[in-house]
């Protein structure tokens, strides 16, 4: 897996991603302490609102970035996003009102909504071989999981020496270091000239791609299943441990660590598995495991006593982490195959926006339903949601959707780039590849100049 780090550009970009993630983790800890200073006992409400603002920024800003990304140099977009995030982090220690926190959080997350899809769209161009790209996806998954474990520990160590305001300074340094690495990297340019079209049409182009490609429709349903499981872990871990199991607050990071460990183990194993097994098989089995874990969690939640419940919860959280990683890690492979190069940024932006829309649904469902009707009701409701999502994914993503199909282009000229591997026949040029939703390949009808063979 580490062999992809021999690529200098990818190594620089991956290092930039890791440093920025650590900075974000430090900011998360510091933001909680800042909220407590500003709001006291209402700090939880402040953080909940900030989390909702974060999701709204992700859902609304990412498609807008996808609409203009083809007209802005990718290096400039990445560096500009990092500089905005660094500036916001630098201002956070000086806020005196809760509303100022909300404004700065929106600005910070809006910049992240610009950075992340652009970064994701660059990597396929840096690592064009699918085997290398798959290993890069696993490394990114590992980076996210390690950050969730490392950043809180680093923050705790730093807080023994400095006040929390200085953690924001560490965040600023992280984003500046990320920008420096991106500047020094050879970021590939867009493969094609800027696309014509109205801003609204371009902003929604990636989402339309998700609606036309069967693989991406299935992916959207799988994102909902992952969000259902992730919401249980993120929102209700402390409730499970403190109220249901009656254990100490010190066990909360252990449970979250079990989730991260499960995700990391799967991320390490997946590249070799994906060399032999199709994405659809791997991802659907991972989503089905989520449903199985929900059933086990329902039994655990219904049980009133028993020493077995604590190790069972750790096992469930580890299984949740592994299953989520099984679904999330190959996501980039699907988008890379479905979107032509000039649409990759908008496609990744659509994935970023739509997947966080799922979290925007499941976060409050886990929190509000758990508080109003009890933990058992929240587990059952989210488990049913995950089951429904898996059934939908199976229906929306037929088993033959990823197969290569032979088809004939009848009006393209011989020097057209799309015909590089085509063979001339009496009626035109014939070749085969997986489905791509672009001007030459549509779903449900055959466009002029294109004939599909059966």
pLDDT score of 442 more than 80: no
Q: Are both 390 and 411 inside the same structural domain?
A: no
Of 203, 229, 250, the domain-final residue: 203
For 59-70, letters b (16+ CB in 10 Å) and e give bebbbbbbbbbb
The span from the CA of 379 to the CA of 298, in Å, is 6
pLDDT score of 333 more than 80: yes
- What SS3 state is found at 375? helix
Question: Which comes out higher in pLDDT, residue 68 or 333?
Answer: 333
Residues 333-347, mean pLDDT to the nearest whole number: 86
pLDDT, one tens digit per residue, over 43-70 is 666 776 787 888 888 888 888 877 776 6
- For 230, the domain range is 204-401
Contact 203, 61 (CB under 8 A): no
C-beta atoms surrounding 204 within 10 Å: 17
pLDDT class of 417 with cuts at 50, 70, 90: low
Is there a domain that residue 143 lies in?
A: no
pLDDT of residue 409: 64
Is there a domain that residue 141 lies in?
A: no
pLDDT score of 172 more than 50: yes
Residues 355-375, mean pLDDT to the nearest whole number: 87
Is there a domain that residue 165 lies in?
A: yes
Q: Are both 58 and 180 inside the same structural domain?
A: yes
Q: Are both 253 and 340 inside the same structural domain?
A: yes
The span from the CA of 138 to the CA of 329, in Å, is 6
pLDDT score of 232 more than 70: yes
pLDDT, one tens digit per residue, over 375-398 is 899 999 999 999 999 999 999 999
Is there a domain that residue 138 lies in?
A: no
pLDDT class of 419 with cuts at 50, 70, 90: low
Please report, for residues 104, 202, 209, the alpha-carbon distance to residue 205 in angstroms, rounded to integers and kept in the order given: 29, 5, 6
Q: Are both 215 and 342 inside the same structural domain?
A: yes
Cα torsion 174, 176, 177, 178 to 10°: value is 90
Is there a domain that residue 444 lies in?
A: yes
Q: Are both 29 and 97 inside the same structural domain?
A: yes
Q: What residues form DSSP beta bridges with 451?
A: 408
Is there a domain that residue 136 lies in?
A: no
- Rounded to a whole number, what is the largest CA-CA distance in the chain? 77
Name the one residue in this structure whose structure tokens are 């939880």: 44
pLDDT class of 423 with cuts at 50, 70, 90: low
pLDDT, one tens digit per residue, over 118-156 is 898 899 989 989 889 999 999 998 888 887 777 777 877
Contact 219, 351 (CB under 8 A): yes
Q: Are both 102 and 70 inside the same structural domain?
A: yes
Among the ranges 14-28, 30-44, 425-439, which has the highest mean pLDDT value? Answer: 14-28
pLDDT of residue 39: 80
Q: Are both 125 and 260 inside the same structural domain?
A: no
Q: Are both 101 and 182 inside the same structural domain?
A: yes
Domain count, the chain: 3
Q: Are both 362 and 254 inside the same structural domain?
A: yes
Is there a domain that residue 385 lies in?
A: yes
Contact 437, 338 (CB under 8 A): yes
Please report, for residues 27, 64, 164, 249, 368, the alpha-carbon distance to residue 252 in angstroms, rounded to integers and kept in the order given: 20, 37, 21, 6, 20
Residues 277-295, mean pLDDT to the nearest whole number: 96
Q: Are both 335 and 248 inside the same structural domain?
A: yes
pLDDT of residue 420: 54
Q: Are both 57 and 180 inside the same structural domain?
A: yes
Residues 72-101, mean pLDDT to the nearest whole number: 91
Is there a domain that residue 139 lies in?
A: no
Q: Are both 273 and 356 inside the same structural domain?
A: yes
CATH number at residue 56: 1.20.1250.20
- The pTM of this model reads 0.80
Name the least confident of 43-47, 267-271, 406-410.
406-410
- What SS3 state is found at 407? strand
pLDDT of residue 269: 93
């Amino acid at each position: 897996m580490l062999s992809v780090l021999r690529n200098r550009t990818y190594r620089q970009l991956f290092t930039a991603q890791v440093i920025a993630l650590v900075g974000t983790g430090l900011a998360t800890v510091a933001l909680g302490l800042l909220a407590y200073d500003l709001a006291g006992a209402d700090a939880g409400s402040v953080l909940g609102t900030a989390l909702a603002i974060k999701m709204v920024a992700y859902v609304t800003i990412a498609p807008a970035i996808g609409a203009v990304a083809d007209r802005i140099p990718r290096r400039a977009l990445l560096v500009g996003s990092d500089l905005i995030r660094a500036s916001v982090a630098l201002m956070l220690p000086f806020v005196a009102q809760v509303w100022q926190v909300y404004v700065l959080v929106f600005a910070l997350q809006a910049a992240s909504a610009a950075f992340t899809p652009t970064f994701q769209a660059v990597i396929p161009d840096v690592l064009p071989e699918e085997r290398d790209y798959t290993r890069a996806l696993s490394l990114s998954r590992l980076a996210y999981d390690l950050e969730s474990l490392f950043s809180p520990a680093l923050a705790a160590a730093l807080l023994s020496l400095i006040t929390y305001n200085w953690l924001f300074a560490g965040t600023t340094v992280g984003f500046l270091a990320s920008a420096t690495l991106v500047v020094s990297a050879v970021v590939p340019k867009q493969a094609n000239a800027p696309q014509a079209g109205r801003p609204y049409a371009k902003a929604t182009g990636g989402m339309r791609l998700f609606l036309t490609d069967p693989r991406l429709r299935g992916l959207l349903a799988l994102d909902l299943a992952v969000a259902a499981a992730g919401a249980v872990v993120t929102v209700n871990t402390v409730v499970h441990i403190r109220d249901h199991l009656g254990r100490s607050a010190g066990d909360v990071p252990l449970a979250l660590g079990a989730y991260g460990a499960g995700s990391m183990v799967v991320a390490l194993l997946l590249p070799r598995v994906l060399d032999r097994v199709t994405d659809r098989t791997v991802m659907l089995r991972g989503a089905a495991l989520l449903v199985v874990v929900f059933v086990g969690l329902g039994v655990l939640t219904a049980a009133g006593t028993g020493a077995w419940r604590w190790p069972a919860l750790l096992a469930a959280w580890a299984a949740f982490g592994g299953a989520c990683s099984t679904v999330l890690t190959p996501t980039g492979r699907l988008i890379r195959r479905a979107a032509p190069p000039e649409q990759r940024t908008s496609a990744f932006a659509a994935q970023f926006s739509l997947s966080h829309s799922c979290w925007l649904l499941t976060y409050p469902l886990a929190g509000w339903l758990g508080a109003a009707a009890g933990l058992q009701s929240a587990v059952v409701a989210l488990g049913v949601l995950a089951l429904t999502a898996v059934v939908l994914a199976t229906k929306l993503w037929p088993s033959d959707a990823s197969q290569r199909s032979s088809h004939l282009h009848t009006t393209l000229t011989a020097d057209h780039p799309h015909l590089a591997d085509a063979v001339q026949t009496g009626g035109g040029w014939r070749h085969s590849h997986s489905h791509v939703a672009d001007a030459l390949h549509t779903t449900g009808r055959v466009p002029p100049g294109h004939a599909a063979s059966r």
